[in-house]
């Protein structure tokens, strides 16, 4: 029985050692890439930020922070369909994080998908309340809706 107990202890130590080796020596570190991408985003270097995030995404493809910042970069670069996809993925992986949901709302507004934007706004207010970010997005959606109604009214005039 003593030999059996030693095997378990040795196996656990071996697994722990491999885990530590993976975590600190083998696994790619995306943190510095992400921090650099955030700095580039703040300096309005969206294309460069996106390149760094794409590199980080190769190592951690389902990281919601990386996906959300990629969405913001693409939104700023007016690449709306890919931005929509990244924000949707980030929302799936981090449903309680307001940042990707807010980005998703702005993309839907930019794509003139007003019903979807309205649905997402309602989800935002249920989860996070009427924050200043919510109020800003709601204002932009209302302005776009009023503009579209005005354009439709002008189009029906003889």
- What CATH code is carried by the domain that includes residue 79? 1.25.40.10
Specify the pTM: 0.76
Q: What integer pLDDT is reported at residue 31 of this predicted model?
A: 79
pLDDT digits (tens, 9 = 90+) for 9-36: 788 888 988 887 766 665 566 778 888 9
Which has the minimum average pLDDT: 1-10, 35-44, 49-58, 117-126? 1-10
Three-state secondary structure along 58-120? HHCCCCHHHHHHHHHHHHHCCCHHHHHHHHHHHHHHCCCCHHHHHHHHHHHHHCCCHHHHHHH
Which has the minimum average pLDDT: 28-37, 55-64, 99-108? 28-37
Asked, for residue 50, whether it belongs to a domain, the answer is yes
Say how many domains are in the chain: 1
Asked, for residue 3, whether it belongs to a domain, the answer is no
């Amino acid at each position: 029985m003593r030999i059996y107990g030693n095997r378990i202890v040795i196996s656990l130590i071996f697994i722990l050692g491999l885990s530590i080796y993976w975590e600190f020596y083998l696994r790619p570190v995306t943190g510095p890439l992400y921090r650099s991408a955030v700095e580039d985003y703040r300096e309005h270097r969206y294309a460069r930020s996106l390149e760094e995030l794409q590199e980080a995404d190769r190592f951690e493809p389902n990281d919601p922070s990386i996906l959300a910042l990629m969405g913001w970069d693409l939104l700023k670069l007016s690449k709306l369909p890919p931005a929509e996809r990244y924000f949707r993925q980030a929302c799936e992986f981090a449903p309680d994080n307001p940042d990707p949901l807010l980005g998703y709302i702005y993309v839907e507004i930019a794509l003139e998908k007003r019903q979807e934007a309205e649905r997402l706004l309602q989800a935002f207010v249920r989860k996070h309340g009427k924050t200043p970010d919510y109020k800003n997005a709601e204002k932009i959606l209302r302005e776009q809706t009023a503009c579209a109604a005005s354009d439709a009214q002008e189009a029906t005039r003889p």
